[in-house]
Amino acid sequence: MGFTKDDEDRSPDLSDELNHNQKLKSVDLEGQGRRQSHHHVTTVDDTSSTSESVGRQIELESENQIKYRTCSWEKTAALLFSEYICLAIMSFPWSYSILGLVPGLILTVVIAGIVLYTSLTVWRFCLRHPEIRDVCDLGQYLFWDSKIAWWATAVMFLLNNTFIQGLHCVVGAEYLNTMSDGAVCTVVFSLIVAIVSFFFSLPRTFSTLSRVATFSAFFTFVSVLLATIFAGIEGHPAGYKPNAGVDWLVVPAKGTSFIKGMSAFLNISYTFIGQITLPSFIAEMKEPRDFWKSVTAVTIAEVIVFSIVGAVIYVYSGQYTTAPAFGSLSDEVYKKVAFSFMIPTIIFLGVLYASVSARFIFFRLFDGTRHKGNNTVVGWAAWAAILATLWVGAWIIAEVIPFFSDLLSIMSSLFDSFFGFIFWGVAYIRMRAADHGPDFYKTRGLRGWIGFIFNVFLIVVGFFFLGPGTYASVMSVVQSYQDGTVGSVFTCKSNAL
């Protein structure tokens, strides 16, 4: 890395690592990778040094009661499945209804390919620097060891995760309202979901959560499969008008606004983009070099499931398609049965992101202390307090933006711009420049130019998400309030499907 700032200008945790501070067992393991080079990104993927670094981390944890580097690639795949095979799948039919079936399917495949490519870029960067613990460490590495970059990444990281927790409070309230016919105030239902999720967030390792992740992903698959089958076998979708029939479009309808089209595009993108958690997952793998297996398997499954579910439900629901698509089912029994299988994901995915955020905060508060790796009263009290704070914040977000598709779009435009595109275009350029010099795109010939142009394109796409994307998302929220299609903030009005 082109690190030229003094150690005192670094973020507190990275500065500690670079200065050889005493940590557990008096060995600053997490800092050893950074000490390999003070002037550039590590230039090659050194298998032996990466394995040695990870091996030492595992060795240092051997006597701790709580061990973090315990995930196999299969367990990591389970975490990824639970993150990606999620409720947001049910926004695909609505997105296809706005974009048209063919553009929707093309975008699904293209975005999946880009996300797989950038995920492998994340992985390669983390292999070069096994001391990276999360995307905030990675952000500081990318932007010339800037303290400002670390703090800015940390703010976006925590906000992104808390927004996702809030989304699951919204959907949990939708489920409870749907099943009970609005028996209780929506604010209360949302709070109940937050409280239940808090208790499920308490396990402190991803290895423990991976067991629940497999369960969650399976039931999500059952839920969307049932919704797809029910959409096909029921007589007509909800809101059906006999004189209008059911129409589905191959291309977007004439007059489709930029705001609607952008919202649909962002909904698809949000479901695929999850690179923000990848450094955290890789940091807890026993063998990080196997991560490519996890992310490739999940991407293939995503393309198949998202495309089939989105296309079939849209074709059978046509212009009556809603987000989430459970609302398109006219038969109340079908709707409630399919939606009920989504309960594990409604709870677990919010739990997963809460755990990632809590781990980020907890590690920085207790790094180098016995509370980090052992069952102490102080450690567990702090862990619970951090989670409680995160879930209160999520609940507030859920009440301020209490609707599904617009909340997805806002998260996608604000955070996926950086964590889905900009960061990884920069990461590629930094790695290639370290390997082949600043003029790598010239010295590597055609391959260098293609890689450089494509990754600059990714950075431009990220800024497009951030600028026009955020504008479209905010205007969509404004229109929703103006049209009266959603309730007010902190409303008791039922949001049942």
In a domain, 457, yes or no: yes
Whether the predicted pLDDT of 407 surpasses 80: no
Higher-pLDDT residue of 185 and 55 is 185
In a domain, 151, yes or no: yes
For 460-484, what is the mean pLDDT?
83
Query: What is the DSSP track for 127-158?
Result: HH-TT--SHHHHHHHHTTT-HHHHHHHHHHHH
Contacts for 334 with CB less than 8 Å, ≥ 6 apart: 226, 230, 234
Whether the predicted pLDDT of 45 surpasses 80: no
In this prediction, residue 312 has a pLDDT band, given cuts at 50, 70 and 90, of: very high
Mean pLDDT of the chain: 81
Measured at the alpha carbon of residue 300, what is the angle toward residues 323 and 220, in degrees to the nearest 5?
Answer: 40
Whether the predicted pLDDT of 133 surpasses 50: yes
- Judged by average pLDDT, the poorest of 87-91, 245-249, 447-451 is 87-91
For 406-426, what is the mean pLDDT?
82
Whether the predicted pLDDT of 314 surpasses 90: yes
Whether the predicted pLDDT of 186 surpasses 90: no
For 292-315, what is the mean pLDDT?
93
pLDDT of residue 59: 52
In this prediction, residue 9 has a pLDDT band, given cuts at 50, 70 and 90, of: very low
In a domain, 2, yes or no: no
In this prediction, residue 424 has a pLDDT band, given cuts at 50, 70 and 90, of: very high
Higher-pLDDT residue of 227 and 366 is 227
In this prediction, residue 408 has a pLDDT band, given cuts at 50, 70 and 90, of: low
In a domain, 12, yes or no: no
- Give the total residue count for the chain: 497
pLDDT of residue 52: 52
For 65-71, what is the mean pLDDT?
58
In a domain, 449, yes or no: yes
Total number of domains constituting the chain: 1
Whether the predicted pLDDT of 11 surpasses 50: no
**For 74-119, how does the pLDDT look when each residue is reduced to its tens digit (9 = 90+)?**
888 888 887 777 777 888 999 999 999 999 999 999 999 999 999 9
pLDDT of residue 7: 40
For 127-144, what is the mean pLDDT?
86
In a domain, 24, yes or no: no
Question: CA–CA distance from 80 to each of 212, 309, 353 (Å)?
Answer: 12, 19, 12
Percent of the chain scoring above 70 in pLDDT: 84
pLDDT of residue 6: 40
Check if the beta carbon of residue 298 is closer than 8 Å to that of residue 214. no
In a domain, 285, yes or no: yes
Domain extent, residue 290, equals: 71-483
In angstroms, the CA 455 to CA 432 distance is 11
Cis preceding linkage at 12, omega within 30: no
In a domain, 219, yes or no: yes
Residue ranges in 414-469 assigned as alpha helix (H)? 423-436, 440-443, 446-464
For 336-349, what is the mean pLDDT?
90
In angstroms, the CA 79 to CA 278 distance is 10
Whether the predicted pLDDT of 31 surpasses 60: no
- Output the domain CATH number for residue 443: 1.20.1740.10
In this prediction, residue 23 has a pLDDT band, given cuts at 50, 70 and 90, of: very low
Tokens 């806002």: give the residue: 410
In this prediction, residue 384 has a pLDDT band, given cuts at 50, 70 and 90, of: very high
Structural Rg of the chain based on CA atoms: 23
Higher-pLDDT residue of 484 and 320 is 320
Contacts for 454 with CB less than 8 Å, ≥ 6 apart: none
In angstroms, the CA 247 to CA 421 distance is 35
